[in-house]
Amino acid sequence: MAHPQRTILFVHRDFPAQFQGLAEHFVRQPATRVCAIREAGRQAPLPGVVDAPYHDIGQAPPQLQALARNLEEQIRRGAAVLETARNLRRNGLVPDLVYAHPGWGEALFLKDVFPEARHVCYCEHHYDPKGPEAAFDPEYPLAQFQWPTVRLQKTAGLLALEACHRGVSPTAWQRQGYPAGLRDKIEVIHEGVDTDVVRPDPAARLLLPAHGLALAPGDEVVTYVARDLEPYRGFHTFMRALPRLLRLRPRCRVLIIGGDGVSYGLRLPDGQTYRERYLAECPVAPGRVHFLGKLAYPDYLAALAMSACHVYLTYPFVLSWSCLEAMAAGCLLVASDTEPVREVVAHGLNGLLVDFFDHQTLAEQVAEALARGRELSPLRALARETIATRYDRDRVCLPAQVRLIEQTLAGDFDAHA
Choose among 255, 331, 320: nearest CA to 294: 255
* CA atoms within 13 A of residue 301's CA, in its CB half-sphere: 16
User: Taking all residues of the chain, what is their mean pLDDT, rounded to a whole number?
Assistant: 95
Q: Please compute the mean of the pLDDT values over residues 84-98 and round it to a whole number.
A: 98
What pTM, to 2 d.p., does this model score?
Answer: 0.94
Length of the chain as a residue count: 417
Please say whether the beta carbons of 310 and 304 come within 8 A.
Answer: yes
Nearest-angstrom CA–CA distance, 286 and 306: 19
User: Does the pLDDT at position 414 exceed 60?
Assistant: no
Same fold? 6-192+393-409, 206-390: yes
User: Does the pLDDT at position 340 exceed 80?
Assistant: yes
Q: Tell me which architecture the domain covering 6-192+393-409 has in CATH.
A: 3-Layer(aba) Sandwich (3.40)
Using DSSP, state whether 293 is helix, strand or coil: strand
Domains of the chain: which residue ranges?
6-192+393-409, 206-390
User: Does the pLDDT at position 245 exceed 80?
Assistant: yes
Q: Does domain 206-390 have CATH number 3.40.50.2000?
A: yes
Q: Please compute the mean of the pLDDT values over residues 14-19 and round it to a whole number.
A: 97
Q: pLDDT tens-digit profile of 120-152?
A: 999 999 988 888 888 899 999 876 668 888 889
pLDDT band, very low/low/confident/very high, at 417 (cuts 50, 70, 90): very low
User: Does the pLDDT at position 415 exceed 50?
Assistant: no
Percent of the chain at pLDDT above 90?
Answer: 86
Q: What is the CA radius of gyration of the chain?
A: 22
Nearest-angstrom CA–CA distance, 110 and 12: 12
Q: What is the residue type of 56? A: D
DSSP assignment of 369-389: HHHTTTTTHHHHHHHHHHHHH
Nearest-angstrom CA–CA distance, 34 and 25: 10
Nearest-angstrom CA–CA distance, 196 and 394: 9
* CA atoms within 13 A of residue 408's CA, in its CB half-sphere: 28
Nearest-angstrom CA–CA distance, 187 and 414: 15
User: What per-residue confidence (pLDDT) applies to 307?
Assistant: 97
User: Does the pLDDT at position 316 exceed 90?
Assistant: yes
Instruction: Work out whether strand 166-169 and strand 6-11 pair parallel, antiparallel, or are unpaired.
Output: unpaired
